[in-house]
């Protein structure tokens, strides 16, 4: 019998920095395993401090070049970035596939978010920069003033593994469009997609040093955050890590955008027609296997319809297709890693003590590998319970009963977080009025979609600053005022 070894891994030997594929400073490597099969799917060099030094130096030189990227006109940068968008599009399907293999994101979703969003965001911010550069204001003191926007400088960007490409471009697209240069540190769990990004940057002919990518763990991330050559930090990740990043940036007086954790509420009002909204409701509560910061993981159900709605939700979450995320029919794939599954299962054990298990609570039957957890729903959850207060980051939901809208608002606001949320109602005006009452950076009426035109971000422990929209561009710009020697017109 002949044995054919069909294993194929994606391996890179060099790091992309300074516009070149560069020998890493050490022989350390990151090995990436499939969340579904546990197989080794690839490996890349693991960045160390010396690699960050070289990447920041390259980004610094590119930014400080007096005829370089920061001094291109918006149109000139736009031409280069349009080539970048096209190069990303050309690789989009493979990028999405790599994300799905690495972190278990269902393929229909990685095609929307990881393939679709990056080029869209690049083009959106290029257009925005072309519209918003300079402003003349008639002065109160007799002469005109001019307000101009300049790129903020070298950006140190740190991203998590859950939606690695779309999250990268929430920061990288406005940074590049504004004229900044970027050192990106992806999470070790999802690095193979970041190398596709590097290949796209190379093919598009981004000037040397404009994009540099150093994969690595938290120590390397911390080193980047405090590096003297960095002007601005863009961090997406857990609230615990965000506090450390904020402390380091505070000490250095370094501007920082923080996109952190969440525990948002989906509030079902007493007039809601949930049966006609189940797809959107699932999307708002358990998308990406429950590993999204803005998902509404607390479901607030009115007392007047509690049993009926709880029954509808039990049917919804017990009927989801769980399995191979590469299968387009799969709704819920595996968690990213063993560590993540342990964490989520720990919370399920807590939930079994604190509340009534309605759906799931174990590992799916018939699947013997992959970091799977059953879609799990607890009912009769006390708003103060740990499973209602702490971010679980897995397919685990808490149903909480409320008596009236005022109490629903109060429960929704009873959280250290304030990132997303949603309200479900047959009356969109009533939904809008309710949305205004919740203390969060974003909120959806009968759905939730991060439209790029509007700012996205959190209040309280969910973060500082905003991404997307003109506000997301402003985060990568310095505002400079010039008092002109020109009388008011
Ligand atoms: P994490 O904080 O452990 O890691 C995120 C990234 O930060 C990784 O690249 C990691 O290597 C790096 N890192 C960790 N500690 C660091 C430090 N002290 N200094 C510098 N870098 C450091 O988070 P995770 O487990 O990878 O991601 C899940 C978390 O991210 C969840 O809490 C989720 O809510 C949050 N998240 C937030 C948003 C948002 O937009 N608000 C989006 C996605 C994920």
Give 3-state DSSP helix, strand, coil % of the chain, rounded to 5. Answer: 40, 20, 35
User: Does 253 lie in the same domain as 365?
Assistant: no
Q: Whole-angstrom Cα distance, residue 344 to residue 69? A: 44
- We report the CATH number of the domain holding residue 43 as 3.40.605.10
DSSP helix/strand/coil, 40: strand
Q: Are residues 310 and 212 in the same domain?
A: no
Ligand 1 mean position to 159 CA, how many Å?
6
Residue 79 lies inside a defined structural domain of this protein = yes
Residue 489 in any domain: the answer is no
Task: Write down the pLDDT at residue 389.
Answer: 98
Whether residue 249 sits in one domain with residue 120? yes
Q: Is residue 338 situated within a structural domain?
A: yes
How many separate domains does the chain show? 2
Residue 132 structural domain: 3-260+463-481
Q: State whether 9 and 100 are in the same domain.
A: yes
Would you state the torsion angle of the CA atoms of residues 438, 440, 443, 448, taken in this order, to the nearest 10 degrees? -140
In a domain, 233, yes or no: yes
3-state class (DSSP) for residue 245:
helix
Q: Indicate whether 97 and 22 sit together in one domain.
A: yes
433: tokens are 């009025």
Burial class (CB in 10 A: 0-12, 13-18, 19+), 276: exposed
Backbone phi and psi for residue 304, each to the nearest 5 degrees, phi listed first:
-65, -25
Query: Which parts of 126-260 are beta strand (E)?
Result: 134-137, 143-151, 154-158, 181-185, 211-213, 232-236, 256-259
Determine whether 259 is an active site residue.
yes
The CA distance from 298 to 290, in Å, is 12
Per-residue pLDDT 10s for the chain (489 aa) are 344 555 589 999 999 999 999 999 999 999 999 999 999 999 999 999 999 999 999 999 999 999 999 999 999 999 999 999 999 999 999 999 999 999 999 999 999 999 999 999 999 999 999 997 789 999 999 999 999 999 999 999 999 999 999 999 999 999 999 999 999 999 999 999 999 999 999 999 999 999 999 999 999 999 999 999 999 999 999 999 999 999 999 999 999 999 999 999 999 999 999 999 999 999 999 999 999 999 999 999 999 999 999 999 999 999 999 999 999 999 999 999 999 999 999 999 999 999 999 999 999 999 999 999 999 999 999 999 999 999 999 999 999 999 999 999 999 999 999 999 999 999 999 999 999 999 999 999 999 999 999 999 999 999 999 999 999 999 999 999 999 999 998
How many A from CA of 133 to the centre of ligand 1?
A: 32
**46 Rama sector, left if φ>0, alpha if ψ -120 to 50, beta otherwise:** beta
Contact call for residues 23 and 47 (beta carbons, < 8 A):
no
Ligand 1: atom nearest CA of 158 is 9
Q: Are 442 and 289 in contact (CB under 8 A)?
A: no
Is 222 near ligand 1, meaning CB less than 6 Å away?
yes
Based on the domain organization, do 68 and 114 belong to the same domain? yes
How are beta strands 134-137 and 143-151 bridged, if at all?
antiparallel
Structure tokens at 200: 């796209």
CATH of the domain at 308: 3.40.309.10
Which tokens in the block code for residue 115?
Answer: 């393939």
244 and 378 inside one domain: no
Look up tokens 């309605």; give the residue: 358
CA angle 439, 440, 445 (to 5 degrees): 100
- How many CB atoms neighbour CB 226 within 10 A? 15
Of all atoms in ligand 1, which is nearest to the CA of residue 258?
41
458 lies in some domain: no
**How far is the centre of ligand 1, averaged over its atoms, from the C-alpha of 161 (Å)?**
8
- Going by CA atoms, what residue is nearest to atom 22 of ligand 1? 218
- CA–CA dist 123, 303 (Å, integer): 47
* Residue 281 shares a structural domain with residue 247: no
CB-ligand 1 contact for 325 (6 Å cutoff): no
Longest dimension (CA), the chain: 92
Domain co-membership, 160 together with 269: no
Q: What are phi and psi of 397, to 5 degrees?
A: -120, 155
Indicate if ligand 1 lies below 6 Å from the C-beta of 464.
no
> Would you state the pLDDT for residue 7?
57
Residue 249 lies in a domain: yes
Tokens 């955008």 found at: 257
Could you identify the residue written with the tokens 């469009």? 177
- Say what the pLDDT of residue 393 is: 98
Write out the DSSP string of 295-334: -EEEEEEEGGGHHHHHHHHHHHHHS--BS-TTSTT-SB--
Residue 64 falls inside a structural domain: yes
Q: Which atom of ligand 1 lies at the shortest distance from residue 340's CA?
A: 25
* Residue 453 CA: distances (Å) to CA of 56, 120, 124, 127: 31, 11, 8, 11
Query: In this predicted structure, what is the pLDDT of residue 179?
Result: 98
In-domain check, residue 488? no
**Residue of minimum CA distance from atom 4 in ligand 1:** 237
Task: Provide the 3-class DSSP secondary structure of residue 205.
Answer: coil
For residue 37, give both structure tokens: 């099969």
Contacts of 8 (CB under 8 A, 6+ apart): none
pLDDT of residue 2: 42
Same domain for 354 and 240: no
Which residue's alpha carbon is nearest to atom 36 within ligand 1? Answer: 237
> Which pLDDT value is given to residue 133?
74
d(CA 24, CA 182): 18
Query: How many whole angstroms from 218 Cα to the centroid of ligand 1?
Result: 9
Residues 357, 434, single domain; the answer is yes
Q: Verify that 8 and 90 share a domain, yes or no.
A: yes
């Amino acid at each position: 019998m002949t044995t054919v070894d069909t294993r194929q891994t994606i391996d890179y030997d060099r790091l992309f920095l300074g516009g070149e594929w560069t020998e890493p400073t050490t022989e350390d490597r990151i090995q990436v395993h499939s969340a579904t099969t546990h197989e080794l799917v690839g490996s890349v060099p693991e960045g160390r401090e010396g690699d960050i030094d070289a990447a920041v130096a390259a980004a610094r030189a590119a930014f400080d070049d007096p005829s370089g990227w920061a001094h291109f006109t918006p149109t000139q940068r736009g031409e280069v970035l349009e080539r970048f968008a096209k190069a990303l599009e050309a690789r989009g399907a493979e990028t999405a596939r790599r994300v799905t293999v690495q972190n278990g994101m269902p393929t229909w979703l990685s095609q929307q978010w990881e393939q679709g969003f990056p080029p869209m965001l690049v083009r959106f911010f290029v257009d925005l920069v072309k519209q918003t550069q300079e402003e003349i204001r008639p002065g109160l003191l007799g002469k005109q003033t001019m307000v101009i926007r300049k790129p903020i400088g070298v950006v140190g960007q740190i991203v998590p593994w859950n939606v690695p490409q779309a999250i990268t471009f929430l920061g990288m697209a406005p940074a590049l469009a504004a004229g900044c240069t970027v050192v990106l540190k992806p999470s070790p769990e999802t690095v193979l997609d970041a190398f596709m990004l590097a290949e796209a940057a190379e093919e598009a002919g981004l000037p040397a040093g404009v994009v540099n990518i150093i994969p690595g763990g938290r120590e390397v991330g911390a080193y980047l955050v405090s590096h003297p050559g960095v002007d601005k930090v863009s961090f997406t990740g857990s609230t615990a890590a965000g506090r450390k990043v904020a402390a380091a940036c505070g000490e250095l007086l370094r501007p920082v955008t923080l996109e952190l954790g969440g525990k948002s509420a989906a509030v079902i009002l007493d007039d809601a027609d949930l049966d006609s909204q189940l797809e959107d409701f699932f999307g708002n509560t358990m998308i990406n296997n429950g590993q999204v910061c803005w998902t509404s993981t607390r479901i607030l159900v009115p007392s007047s319809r509690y049993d009926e709605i709880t029954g509808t939700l039990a049917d919804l979450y017990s009927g989801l297709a769980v399995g191979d995320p590469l299968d387009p029919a799969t709704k819920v794939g595996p968690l990213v890693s063993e560590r993540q599954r342990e964490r989520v299962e720990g919370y399920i054990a807590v939930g079994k003590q604190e509340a009534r298990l309605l759906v799931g609570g174990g590992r799916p039957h018939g699947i013997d590998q992959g970091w799977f957890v059953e879609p799990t729903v607890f009912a009769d959850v006390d708003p103060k319970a740990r499973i209602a207060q702490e971010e679980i980051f897995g397919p685990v939901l808490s149903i909480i009963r409320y008596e009236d809208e005022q109490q629903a608002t109060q429960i929704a606001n009873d959280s250290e977080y304030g990132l997303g949320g949603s309200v479900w109602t047959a009356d969109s005006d009533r939904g809008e009025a309710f949305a205004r009452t919740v203390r969060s950076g974003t909120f959806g009426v009968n759905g939730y979609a991060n439209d790029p035109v509007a700012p996205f971000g959190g209040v309280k422990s969910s973060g500082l600053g905003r991404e997307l929209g003109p506000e997301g561009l402003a985060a990568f710009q310095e505002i400079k005022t010039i008092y002109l020697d020109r009388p008011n017109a």
